[in-house]
């Protein structure tokens, strides 16, 4: 039994790698989408709105399969049309990270957009009046306050993203879910209710990771809100 549990525990490292890498992609896309939606430029606003609306309206599982298998088929069809190019097989890890990051970038877009809109416009106008350039206004005025206002929504998105990493098992990655299913099938004759036991162990590991994440992000939220609480007092 111990080797099976250790195998699932090793799969948790892959889950963390996929989750953190996907988070980086999601934050970059979310920031770009939020800035586009608040830019006042019709084309950029329209593109960001379409991205956020379509991605949030389609189930994650469907998007995962479409982007991985459909994207690979489309890329190989394009290479075939361009000439005698060898077929490309997309790396499952990269595909999982980019797909999950692309999906949750849409949710981060709305989280960051709401945080930006919650900042009083007068602060940005005052900074511009003092001669600050747009990037200075964003870096010194907008971003610090946006982080504080976005943290609750960011926390929720991160927790859901972590749970969605279980979908990468469909791409062939040996994450916790995949290994738990394999262990349950292999030990079915040795241990009573083996599939349930190993899946429950994987669920506990997910719960442990999300609980630690909630504690860390809760601490950050308190840290960023410290000055605000003092001003209210």
Position 7 pLDDT exceeds 60: yes
Average pLDDT, the chain: 85
The pLDDT of residue 232: 45
Of the spans 72-76, 141-145, 188-192, 223-227, which averages the highest pLDDT?
141-145
Band the pLDDT of 192: cuts 50, 70, 90. low
Q: Where are the alpha helices (DSSP H) in the chain?
A: 2-37, 42-57, 60-65, 71-82, 92-117, 121-129, 134-137, 143-164, 176-186, 194-224, 226-232
Band the pLDDT of 233: cuts 50, 70, 90. very low
- Radius of gyration of the chain, Cα coordinates, nearest whole angstrom: 22
Specify the pTM: 0.85
CATH class of 2-232: mainly alpha
Band the pLDDT of 230: cuts 50, 70, 90. very low
φ, ψ dihedrals at 5, nearest 5°: -65, -40
Band the pLDDT of 128: cuts 50, 70, 90. confident
């Amino acid at each position: 039994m111990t080797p099976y549990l250790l195998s699932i525990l090793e799969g948790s490292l892959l889950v963390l790698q996929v989750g953190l890498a996907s988070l980086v992609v999601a934050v970059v896309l979310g920031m770009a989408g939020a800035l586009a939606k608040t830019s006042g430029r019709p084309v950029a606003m329209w593109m960001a709105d379409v991205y956020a609306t379509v991605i949030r309206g389609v189930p994650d599982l469907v998007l995962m399969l479409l982007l991985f298998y459909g994207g690979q088929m489309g890329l190989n069809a394009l290479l075939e049309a361009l000439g005698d190019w060898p077929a490309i097989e997309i790396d499952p890890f990269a595909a999982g990270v980019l797909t999950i990051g692309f999906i949750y970038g849409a949710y981060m877009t709305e989280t960051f957009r709401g945080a930006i809109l919650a900042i009083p416009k007068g602060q940005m106008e005052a900074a511009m009046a003092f001669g600050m350039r747009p990037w200075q206004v964003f870096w010194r005025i907008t971003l610090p306050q946006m982080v504080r206002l976005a943290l609750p929504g960011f926390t929720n998105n991160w927790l859901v993203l972590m749970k969605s990493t279980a979908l990468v098992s469909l791409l062939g990655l040996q994450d916790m879910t995949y290994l738990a299913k394999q262990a349950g099938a292999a030990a079915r004759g040795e241990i009573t209710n083996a599939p349930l036991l190993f899946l429950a162990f994987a669920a506990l590991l997910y719960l442990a990771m999300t609980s630690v994440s909630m504690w860390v992000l809760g601490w950050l939220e308190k840290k960023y809100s410290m000055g605000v609480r003092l001003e209210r007092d």
